């Protein structure tokens, strides 16, 4: 029996995957009642929007909350020594020690949006726990959800999360800037999809430094100057400049 | 019968694809003789490293050269009214008009590295030509190479190329920065691959703005500050700052 705290993207995908694996979700907490109800319905759970309504007796209290929300939720809990688990890449395990004697981290390294199904079995999970018993429990739980489970300490997890911000969040934003550039001229974004796919696939086989192509790695100042002139938006131009400088800098080092 | 000028990544992949489709490559020119020989061998062609050795009589002279090299090669040609075609995203069609009366552009939108095979049939080709006859010829040639062929004018092609720099070259560089961050702590880069794949796949179904996740789109200043502190490399930190600002700016607009 699991209690889920949070009803956002991560809570939704983990909750659904846990249910599919036969776990019972007893309660779903969100400070927004509607969000709690929506997810609780899909999980056959009870929705709650007050921390005081969260019941004792769940095996795990899984906190899939934004980093900002986590601390205020934890400090508002009235449970007796709950097994607390958070799902954050950047919050250390020790952040839970003030609230319980049994705690752990279950970090799924993936980008989750509510409307898009994700194959949780292929998501790598990174776990850390306060003692051997909690580690064993989390290893079992993660292994039922996913084919790929690693233990990782808090400092390495923070580095992994930072790398993921570059490789996912920043990458996706570059797709947004491409989208905007094309939209100005009514060129369909889907023209770029084979290129986007190949760019991702390429680093399965080559190191990213070896896979680099384009004007900046060739230091082709002709094209770089022309492309900068084409960017009328100052924010786009500053991203272009910043990444071009970083590629030139990186090419010298690799 | 096609003469290939250039022996780099694009020349290699186009040459191989043309040969596979039954085209004869008569000569391969590169100013570096070894490069000409290496590619010419794979294409059963004659290698040449002097522009004066390029023979008249080929149906097309396909210039798969860097933008910097193109002009000096064109001005050194001694052919009589050759059908000239370049493969550049950023050079306008009109750049060929001084060198012939028949010319065109064949721009494959993909990232090519010599060591990695590419399925050319799934690469979108963008063509433009000086008149209907050359357009018809290039349409036929591109359609034998690829399932996806579009005509596109020079200005739109330059915008598409710029968008591709963001969606491919800059994206790949962010993979390099992730790689570097992980390497500092001996964390394997392959942990990120399912995330990288999903980030690319996601924008097949959602607009990139809708697909955005992470600290910056939530304006989670707590994590942003912590992650910036973790980046000891000033270039990495400046890329982080620049993209975070751009995401925050973009989130306001979308």
**Residues B215-235 pLDDT 10s:** 999 888 889 999 999 999 999
Residue B254 has pLDDT above 80, yes or no: no
The mean per-residue pLDDT over the stretch A230-241 comes to 96
Q: Across chain B, what does the average pLDDT equal?
A: 96
Residue A35 has pLDDT above 80, yes or no: yes
Q: Which of A200, A219, A254 to mutate to test the interface with B (most CBs of B within 10 A)?
A: A200
Contacts 24+ apart (CB under 8 A), B67-75: B67/A220, B67/A222, B67/A223, B67/B91, B68/A220, B68/A222, B69/B6, B69/B31, B70/B95, B71/B95, B73/B5, B73/B29, B74/B98, B74/B99, B75/B99
Q: Which of B9, B175, B197, B232 to mutate to test the interface with A (most CBs of A within 10 A)?
A: B175
CB neighbourhood size of B29 (10 A): 28
**DSSP letter assigned to residue A186:** T
Which residue of B168, B182, B211 is in closest CB contact with A160? B182
Proportion of chain A above pLDDT 70, given as a percent: 100
User: CA A15, CA A42: separation in Å to the nearest integer?
Assistant: 9
**Residues B48-71 pLDDT 10s:** 999 999 999 999 999 999 888 999
* CA–CA–CA angle A165, A170, A172 (5° rounding): 115
**Residues A90-147 pLDDT 10s:** 999 999 999 999 999 999 999 998 889 999 999 999 999 999 999 999 999 999 999 9
pLDDT for the residue numbered B222: 87
Q: Would you place residue B202 in the very low, low, confident or very high pLDDT band (cuts 50, 70, 90)? A: very high
User: CA A197, CA B167: separation in Å to the nearest integer?
Assistant: 10
User: CA A201, CA B196: separation in Å to the nearest integer?
Assistant: 9
Which residue of A124, A200, A242 is in closest CB contact with B200? A200
The mean per-residue pLDDT over the stretch A31-55 comes to 97
| CA-based nearest residue in chain A for residue B202 | A116
Minimal Cα–Cα distance from A33 to chain B, Å? 20
Sheet holding A60-63, edge to edge: A46-48, A25-29, A2-5, A60-63, A83-86, A102-108, A125-129, A149-151
User: CA A149, CA A205: separation in Å to the nearest integer?
Assistant: 22
N-to-C CA span, chain B: 50
Contact B130, B179 (CB under 8 A): no
User: CA A142, CA A171: separation in Å to the nearest integer?
Assistant: 27
* CA–CA–CA angle A141, A145, A146 (5° rounding): 115
Interchain pair A160, B191: CB under 8 A? yes
Minimal Cα–Cα distance from B168 to chain A, Å? 6
CB neighbourhood size of A118 (10 A): 21
Residue B205 has pLDDT above 80, yes or no: yes
Q: Which of A65, A114, A166 to mutate to test the interface with B (most CBs of B within 10 A)?
A: A166
- Nearest 10 degrees: Cα torsion B62, B67, B73, B77: 50
Q: Are strands A125-129 and A102-108 parallel, antiparallel or unpaired?
A: antiparallel
List the alpha helices (DSSP H) in chain B.
9-20, 33-43, 67-76, 132-145, 154-164, 171-183, 193-205, 208-211, 221-230, 234-253
Which chain A residues are closer than 8 Å to B243 by Cβ? 170, 173-174, 239, 242
The CA–CA distances, whole Å, from B86 to A17, A176, A218, B161 equal 51, 29, 18, 14
CB under 8 Å to A48, separation ≥6 — which residues? A27, A28, A29, A36, A54
What interface predicted TM-score (ipTM) does this complex get?
Answer: 0.95
pLDDT for the residue numbered A115: 87
The CA–CA distances, whole Å, from A111 to A9, A108, A166, A167, B23 equal 9, 9, 12, 11, 45
List the alpha helices (DSSP H) in chain A.
9-20, 33-43, 67-76, 132-145, 154-164, 171-183, 193-205, 208-211, 221-230, 234-253
Interchain pair B173, A240: CB under 8 A? no
| CA-based nearest residue in chain B for residue A157 | B187
**Residues B98-153 pLDDT 10s:** 999 999 999 999 999 888 999 999 999 999 999 999 999 999 999 999 999 999 99
Which residue of A195, A226, A236 is in closest CB contact with B164? A195
**Residues A157-190 pLDDT 10s:** 999 999 999 999 999 999 999 999 999 999 999 9
Q: Across chain A, what does the average pLDDT equal?
A: 96
pLDDT for the residue numbered A126: 98
Helices B154-164, A171-183: axis angle to 10 degrees equals 170
pTM for the predicted model, two decimal places: 0.95
Q: Would you place residue B81 in the very low, low, confident or very high pLDDT band (cuts 50, 70, 90)? A: very high
Give me the total of CB pairs closer than 8 Å, taking one residue from chain A and one from chain B.
340
Which chain A residues are closer than 8 Å to B158 by Cβ? 226, 230
Interchain pair B209, A111: CB under 8 A? no
Minimal Cα–Cα distance from B90 to chain A, Å? 7
Which residue of B168, B215, B226 is in closest CB contact with A195? B168
pLDDT for the residue numbered B184: 96
pLDDT for the residue numbered B78: 95
Residue A254 has pLDDT above 80, yes or no: no
Which chain A residues are closer than 8 Å to B236 by Cβ? 246
pLDDT for the residue numbered B150: 98
Q: Would you place residue A222 in the very low, low, confident or very high pLDDT band (cuts 50, 70, 90)? A: confident
| CA-based nearest residue in chain A for residue B91 | A223
**DSSP letter assigned to residue B169:** I
Contact A60, A85 (CB under 8 A): yes
pLDDT for the residue numbered B220: 87
Q: What phi-psi label fits residue A219: left (phi over 0), alpha (psi between -120 and 50 degrees) or beta? A: left
Interchain pair B220, A66: CB under 8 A? yes
Interchain pair A214, B167: CB under 8 A? no
Residue B96 has pLDDT above 90, yes or no: yes
**Residues A188-220 pLDDT 10s:** 999 999 999 999 999 999 999 999 999 999 888
CB-count exposure of residue A41 (10 Å: 0-12, 13-18, 19+): exposed
Q: Which of B189, B228, B246, B248 to mutate to test the interface with A (most CBs of A within 10 A)?
A: B246
What DSSP string runs through A202-223? HHHHS-HHHH--STTTTT-HHH
């Amino acid at each position: 029996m699991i209690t889920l705290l949070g009803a956002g993207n991560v809570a939704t995908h983990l909750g659904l995957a846990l249910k599919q694996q036969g776990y019972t979700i007893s309660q779903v907490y969100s400070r927004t009642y509607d969000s709690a109800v929506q997810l609780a319905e899909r999980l056959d759970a009870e929705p709650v929007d007050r921390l005081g309504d969260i019941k004792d007796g769940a095996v795990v209290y899984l906190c899939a909350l934004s980093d900002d929300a986590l601390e205020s939720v934890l400090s508002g809990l009235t449970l007796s020594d709950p097994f607390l688990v958070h799902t954050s890449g950047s919050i250390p395990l020790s952040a839970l020690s003030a609230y319980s004697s049994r705690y752990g981290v279950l970090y799924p390294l993936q980008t989750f949006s509510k409307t898009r199904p994700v194959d949780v079995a292929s998501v790598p999970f990174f776990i850390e726990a306060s003692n051997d018993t909690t580690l064993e429990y989390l290893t079992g739980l993660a292994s039922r959800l996913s084919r790929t489970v690693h233990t990782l300490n808090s400092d390495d997890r923070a580095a992994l999360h930072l790398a993921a911000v570059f490789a996912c969040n920043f990458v996706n934003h570059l797709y947004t800037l491409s989208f905007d550039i094309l939209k100005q001229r009514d060129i369909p974004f889907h023209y770029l999809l084979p290129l986007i796919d190949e760019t991702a696939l390429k680093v399965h086989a080559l190191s990213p430094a070896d896979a680099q192509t384009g004007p900046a790695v060739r230091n082709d100042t002709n094209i770089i100057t022309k492309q900068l002139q084409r960017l009328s938006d100052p924010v786009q131009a500053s991203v272009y400049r910043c990444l071009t400088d970083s590629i030139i800098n990186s090419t010298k080092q690799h």
